[in-house]
Structure 1
Amino acid sequence: MKIFKKISVVILVIFYFIAGLNHFRSPESYIRIIPGYLPYPAVLNIAAGIAEIVFALLAIRPQSRKVACYGIILMLLAFLPVHIQMVKDAPLQLGSLTVTPTIAWIRLVLLQPFLILWAWWHSLPNKPATQSASR
């Protein structure tokens, strides 16, 4: 399990780092899905990108991983209005991806809870290795 968790945290770091960079590489895709009732969508997009990059970098070190993961969880909760809006607006085009109503619902009901649980799991301390009973 320990190696699985190490691989998982590397994937988490890469996932959020790339996601954060994408806010700067393709801002129009993100700005487009920010609900109209939220002010300053361009600023919100930049803030989200910075947050994802910072949390990814903080998650690298075990000493700051718990804070990073709590930050990721709060960020994902803050993103829920975007995913709810996507359900309302589907079908919609995000770059080359067509977000159908089914995809929008899957993102809201399955993907977001999975991402929250994934970050939460990495916020937990690693269990010490059990000693062999052959002593």
Structure 2
Amino acid sequence: MTAPLRRDAKIVVGAFLASGTVHLVRPEVFEPLMPGWVPAHREVILGSGIAELACAVGLLAPPTRRLAGLASAALLVAVFPGNVKMALDAQRGRNTGFKAAAWARLPLQLPMIRGALRAARA
């Protein structure tokens, strides 16, 4: 029998469902986060949204949980440069709350990666 999805993996599912939806509905939100060296910004944003949604659904289904957990961890690592860019760019703005949120989300990547890998092992 497959173990139930852990709470940390459920957080990854929720975050991916929300973020993946925003990637598809409002991709322009993510364009400023894209490093200049990444080609085809809009296509990459849409593709990453689809990947987030696929990972979320895959984590929910026990037969695909291992693959989805590994893919989720890889995706979180892949988008990390965009999150760093967002934090650095936020420093140029005046919104203190946004600055704090941009930096606070960086260390949150680690427990999300851990949650995804735990789901892969379950």
What is the correspondence of 1:1-135 to structure 2 with a 5 Å cutoff?
A: 5=6, 9-91=9-91, 99-100=98-99, 102-108=100-106, 110-125=107-122
The higher-RCO structure (CA 8 Å, 6+ apart) is: 2
More helix by share: 2
Greater share of strand: 1
Identity of aligned residues (%): 26
The aligned amino acid for 2:84 is I
Structure 1 length-normalised TM: 0.75
**1:24 Cα offset (Å):** 1.3
Structure 2 residue runs without a partner (length 5+): none
Alpha-carbon distance in structure 1 between the residues aligned to 2:4 and 2:64: 19
TM-score, with length taken from structure 2: 0.82
Moved beyond 6 Å, runs of 4+: none
RMSD, matched Cα: 2.4
Q: Tell me the matched-pair count.
A: 118
For each residue in 1:69-105, what CA deviation from the matched residue of structure 2 results, as whole angstroms up to 9, or x when unmatched? 1001000111111012122211478xxxx520x3322
Partner of 1:132: none
